[in-house]
Amino acid sequence: MKNEMEIIFDAVSDNESFARVAVAAFITHLNPTVEEMADIKTAVSEAVTNSIIHGYGNLQGCGRTGRACPPEQKEIHPGKVRISCRLENGILHIEIADTGRGIEDVEKAMEPLYTTRPDLERSGMGFAFMEAFMDDLEVESTPGEGTTVRMVKKIGIGEWIA
């Protein structure tokens, strides 16, 4: 059994909940456990948030909720985030990609507690969570071109047994 989906959306923080719920809905027919579902939603949320705030620099809600933009952000970056999912034999492959600024040092970025934006009260746990909650994590990034995060997780009992 194979099933694929792809969504592309604006890199704004309103879409964070949409993204994780969309991926969660895509896997429901596999009967995932509550825990597996929560793991996947958290991992997707982390990756998408990274793309939005670090990849494109679209910071928290500004411009839309009537709050003032931080001085370094004059306008919202029009970039998109692309999520593609593939389900094959009960294994979920997720690819979350942006065409933002990219990461200079991926290894450093993946260190727990390391963050380039302590001013935003980011915890620096994003990649650590993706790693902990998924079975496999791969990060590919080219500065100036963008970042692609690939994650794999085995779900529940595998093939649907009626």
Partner 1 sequence: MEQIRVGDFKVIDNCLMIRLPEEIDHHGAGLICENADKYLIRDEVQNVIFDFEKTRFMDSSGIGIIMGRYRKISCFGGRVYAIHLDRQIERIFQLSGLNKIVEVLES
Question: Interface with partner 1 by CB under 8 A: which range of 32-40, 79-87, 100-108, 154-162?
Answer: 32-40
Question: 133 and 39 in contact (C-beta within 8 Å)?
Answer: yes
Residues in the chain: 162
122 is catalytic: yes
50 is catalytic: yes
Contacts of 111 (CB under 8 A, 6+ apart): 124
Question: 32 and 155 in contact (C-beta within 8 Å)?
Answer: yes
Nearest to 141 by CA among 50, 78, 35: 50
User: Which residue in the set 60, 73, 84, 116 belongs to the binding site for partner 1 (CB under 8 A)?
Assistant: 60
**What's the CA gap between 152 and 40, in Å, rounded?**
10
From residue 87 to residue 126, the character string flagging contacts with partner 1 as x (rule: CB under 8 A) and all else as - is ---------------------------------xxxxxxx
Question: Interface residues with partner 1 (CB under 8 A)?
Answer: 13-14, 16-17, 20, 34-35, 38, 41-42, 45-46, 49, 52-53, 60-61, 65, 67, 120-126, 128-129, 132
Q: Which residue numbers are catalytic? A: 46, 50, 122
